[in-house]
Amino acid sequence: MHREITSIFGQNKVILRESKRAVTPYGGLAVFIEYLQKICYAETIQANMPVTLTSRNAINPAETFTAFLISVLSGARRFAHAGLLRLDKAMHCLLGIARFPTDDTMRNLFKRFNQAKVTEFYSALTQWQIPRLPERIEGYSVDLDSTVFERYGQQQGALKGYNPKKHGRPSHHPLLAIIAEAHFVLHAWLRSGNCSSSRGVVEFLKEALALLAGKHRIRVVRADSGFFDDKLLSFLEEQKLPYIVVARLTRWIKIEAINIRQWKDLDSTYSVAEFRKQLHGWTQERRIVVVRELLREKLSLGRRLLDVPGYTFRLFATSLPMAPEEIWRDYNQRSDMEKRIAELKYDLAADDFCLKEFFATEAAFRGILLLFNLLSEFQRVSGMQGYRQPATLRTQVFLCGAILGRAGRKQVLHMSSSWGGLQTRNPLFEKILSYVFPTSAKLGLVLQNSCP
């Protein structure tokens, strides 16, 4: 059976025919699958999966979980989209999955997660990944932030709270800690929509530090004004963790900023100063760095003080001994945090996979964070120059038309040369196969580049 159509330009005749051969648009995922094999992904997921099924007809939960991650990586934004890969036999061959789960099977897997299982599973996987992060003598920057996931329905924990785009819309309010230089999500909580930014942040940080377990040094903790809280600052000081936190412009902070007389000019626009202040309820005084900006036509990030017309101000509470301008420049690097959150939302649909049960939704959300971390490490292992967003990886590396065939008893995936084929991806394969993961100091000369 065939059909003939006419091209839009040139009026060329094109014949359409069916093919019974297995075809996939994601042949380039073979590179990512080789990386997963390198880090013993399947063995690790299997060993830590807290869900067990006794039915003979049940699909292995580790395979269902992996099918969900690959579906998200392929561009799925709903559980219903994930079911489309059930027809991709070539992809099934790459994954080694005989029966690809339906979207209902994926939903049911996450519905079996409770709070204990979410914590147990994802904590183990984070601790599995952390030792492979590159060593940094100066340490890593940990950025704290929260975001808003709008919800449409009657999901557990979807409550009215802070929502700058859709006022009054029920939402979830996740809290994240990201290791900036490694593009790595260290820890995350999915919280009810009526939580403030700093709600539970001390306990959250305790869990994050427990995951690190001293394997990497923290250079600085950075956060916006939503985390300007004495409990958090006192905890960081107790743990001897340097911090830069945007100061909330309370009445007494404003008065101190207005009364500053000595400014250090950085250029014709910016000036810096500092003071020390102990606010009501604080256990001690703290250093506050002030950045003053002369108002210009373009939009400024600072806040205007009515008593000082013509300028905007940004204030930072910090325990670092650096010069005020260095504190400001250091904090500005935190802007990458907003990029990572945008990638989670727009590239990996972290806010779209929602179930009625709260911990089922959190399990799916944490699974996408795991995928994000795997993609970051994949780029390091494959030797890519510079960081690439998940959507960029999808179009430049993973998207490649391929046909599944056979050569004797072996299955062969024919990757289209017009999509870059195998030739452009061979250097990535070679980098992955030859990569030696960082060795922990506690392990001496034992290499960690093989499966346990």
438 pLDDT tier (thresholds 50, 70, 90): confident
Mean residue pLDDT across the chain: 91
Give the three-state DSSP class for 426.
helix
Residue 218 tokens, joined: 């923290």
Owner of token pair 């059976």: 1
Instruction: Check pLDDT > 50 for residue 264.
Output: yes
pLDDT in tens, 191-205: 999 998 889 999 999
Place 10 in a pLDDT band, splitting at 50, 70 and 90.
confident
E strands in 233-380: 243-246, 264-265, 270-277, 286-294, 303-304, 311-318
Give the per-residue pLDDT at 439. Answer: 65
Residue 445 has pLDDT above 50, yes or no: no
End-to-end CA distance of the chain: 52
Phi, psi of 248 (to 5 degrees): -75, 135
Map out the domains of the chain as residue ranges: 225-330
- What is the distance between the alpha carbons of residues 145 and 23, in angstroms, rounded to a whole number? 42
Residue 138 scores a pLDDT above 90: yes
Between CA 32 and CA 41 the distance in angstroms is 11
pLDDT of residue 228 exceeding 70: yes
Helices (H), 115-249: 115-129, 201-212, 230-238
Q: Report the alpha-carbon distance of residue 252 to residue 281 in Å, rounded.
A: 13
Among 24, 438, 181, residue whose Cα is nearest residue 33: 24
Nearest to 378 by CA among 5, 16, 27, 30: 30
**For 343-398, how does the pLDDT look when each residue is reduced to its tens digit (9 = 90+)?**
999 999 999 999 999 999 999 999 999 999 999 999 999 999 889 999 999 999 99
Q: Which residues lie closer than 8 Å to 334 by C-beta, 6 or more apart?
A: 141, 143, 180, 222, 224
Pairing of strands 286-294, 270-277: antiparallel
Angle subtended by helix axes 358-381 and 29-38, to nearest 10: 90
The pLDDT of residue 303: 64
Contacts of 246 (CB under 8 A, 6+ apart): 223, 224, 225, 228, 314, 315, 316, 317, 331
Alpha carbons 341 and 260: distance in angstroms, whole number: 36
65-99 pLDDT, tens digit each? 999 999 999 999 999 998 788 999 999 999 999 99
Q: Is the pLDDT of residue 450 over 90?
A: no
Query: What is the per-residue pLDDT for 440?
Result: 53
CA 134 distance to own-chain centroid? 17
pLDDT at 447 over 90: no
Residue 28's Cα: distance from chain center in Å? 22
Q: Smallest Cα–Cα separation from 51: which of 2, 120, 101?
A: 120
User: Which tokens belong to 301?
Assistant: 């990030």
Residue pair 232/198 in contact (Cβ under 8 Å)? The answer is yes
Phi, psi of 148 (to 5 degrees): -120, 130
